[in-house]
Chains A and B, each alone.
Chain A
Amino acid sequence: MAQEMIEGINPTRMELLKLKDREKLAVKGYSLLKEKRNALIMEFFNILERVKGSRENVEEKLKEAFEDLTTAQILMGDLAVNKAAMSVKESIELDIDSRSIMGVVVPVLDSTSSSRTVVERGYSFVDTSVKLDEAAKKFEESLALIIELGEIEKTIVLLAGEIESTKRRVNALEHIIIPRLENTVKYIEMRLEEMERENFVRLKVIKKSMEME
């Protein structure tokens, strides 16, 4: 591993220059990628702060909502609840934007869920129970939470994927490509020096033999 280098390289000055350029590029890319990785991880930690407990919140809220729904179903009967549900107006307006974190496009949701009054929901009061109102309210609330959770989880998944691939690239550059280039450069330099010495000796020998004549 320590002496690994690129195979099939001719020890010429031309190759040496080319390799040196490549090495410079690799080092530059490495430091850029490292910065990118660090920035991504920082962003990742920020989002982790937000995800804390938000799934638990959703679960809690939904549990309450389902309890109220079940009570409403018991009081009014399944059919009546279904009928009421059919006539509820759409409550949520969703605006989807996207934001780019170091080239990763993550969604930004802007939901305007106006918590509505009972009248605005759209079902009649004659044959509905109070529990239904409560269930509807809780479902509205949990919907807002769910959307937020979805945004956060999606961001985490996308960021995680990008971090992983960046990490892999950084590691590949650091541990394989750059050392290999360095070794090859060193090898070519040594070969060139050796050739120079050989030439030098050869010239000396020739000079001596010419003087002898």
Chain B
Amino acid sequence: MKSSIAVVADADTVTGFKLGGIKEGYVVESTQEAEEILTNLIKEKTAIIIITEKIGEELREVIEKFTKSSALPMIIEIPDKSGPSHRATDPMRELIKRVIGVEMVK
């Protein structure tokens, strides 16, 4: 199976990951642009899409629609240059709490 990785992020992040050896990097400025590119990438069956947390925050619903049920694509959110954003609730933690029923110390 041919599989690929793509980065959809701001200019610096894309430059960084290009240095790290990813060919497909898309610099996006607006939310709309990001959504278009994401949809295209998913259509082309890109396996892993790396996005910044900022974009992730804005496109939460679109992303969830694609990732809820199927194994691929994997959309991974990473912090950008300004460091990890401090979300009020960690979505992973929420999920674990809901499933297990008790708070797990992570």
Complex formed: what's the CA distance from A149 to B76 in Å? 8
Segment of A22-30, A151-159, A185-193, A204-212 engaged in the interface with chain B: A151-159
Interface contact B16-A65, CB-CB below 8 Å: yes
A182 to chain B, nearest CB (A): 27
In-complex Cβ contact of A91 among B3, B20, B76, B92 (8 A): B20
Complex formed: what's the CA distance from A146 to B81 in Å? 16
Interface residues on B, range: 35 or more
Complex formed: what's the CA distance from A48 to B106 in Å? 8
Q: Which residue of A lies closest to B90 (CB)?
A: A55
* Interface check B58, CB cutoff 8 A: no
- Whether A62 touches B78, Cβ cut-off 8 Å, given contacts A96-B72, A157-B95, A160-B99, is yes
Q: What per-residue 1/0 map shows which CB atoms of A102-122 lie under 8 Å from chain B?
A: 000111010001001000010
Contacts of A143 in B (CB 8 A): 5, 17, 20-22
A100 to chain B, nearest CB (A): 10
Interface contact A156-B92, CB-CB below 8 Å: yes
Interface contact A69-B19, CB-CB below 8 Å: yes
* Interface check B50, CB cutoff 8 A: yes
Interface contact B18-A88, CB-CB below 8 Å: yes
Contacts of A109 in B (CB 8 A): 48
Contacts of A164 in B (CB 8 A): 98-99
- Whether A90 touches B22, Cβ cut-off 8 Å, given contacts A48-B104, A58-B78, A70-B81, is yes
Contacts of B98 in A (CB 8 A): 160, 164
Q: Report 9 cross-chain contacts, Cβ distance below 8 Å, ordered by A residue.
A: A48-B96, A59-B79, A59-B83, A66-B12, A69-B19, A85-B15, A96-B47, A143-B21, A153-B92
